[in-house]
Chain A
């Protein structure tokens, strides 16, 4: 198990271009999350999947953003018509849930992130 993998690690793009990031979660984890992190802030939630179903999207996820998780394995996050304000670190995490305990025990593992710079 190599942990959560994200590709690419860095991406520089011109304003207006589309970009796509990939995340490969830990194989036993059924939940996958996308977060965005800007300088001096903690990660902010964008969206998450349980298996292939996208269960929640935050208000940060504008209509230029779309995420998919076909077959419940890897996930992609696409940003269309990028803007300079999209420059950030995009983090992916996967999690396990142990529902038999009270409260549910959850473990979240993060990837190394994709650093996006829009010029």
Chain B
């Protein structure tokens, strides 16, 4: 089945640093979504990508939909303490004919503040 592999699993950030994480799959996805989840809350959508090669920004966040449709990355520039949390990539399961179903998630990248 379709699976998403996220890396790194965790990383420590210092305020002001840039952060990069990525997501890969052996299957093609037609949509890539990036979510952030804070403890005890549901995931919140950060960026949605719908077209191969698409580069989209949302404030300090930038994400790209890989040209092969099998990968995506998320960059956070000039990190701040509230960027701490778990970031998930996700893509909809594809059905024959182009319809899309439930979301498949990666295992997440956990961002923590450097001690």
Contact = CB atoms under 8 A, between A and B. Distances in A.
A45 interface: yes
Contacts of A108: 33, 45, 90, 103
Interface stretch (A11-19, A69-77, A98-106): A98-106
Contact of B100 (A41, A97, A115): A97
Interface stretch (B11-19, B70-78, B105-113): B105-113
B21 interface: no
B100 A104 contact: yes
A29 B75 CA distance: 30
Interface of A: 4, 6, 33, 35, 40-45, 48, 55-56, 91, 93, 97, 99, 101-113, 115
Interface of B: 4, 30-31, 33, 35, 40-45, 48, 50, 88, 90, 92-93, 98-108
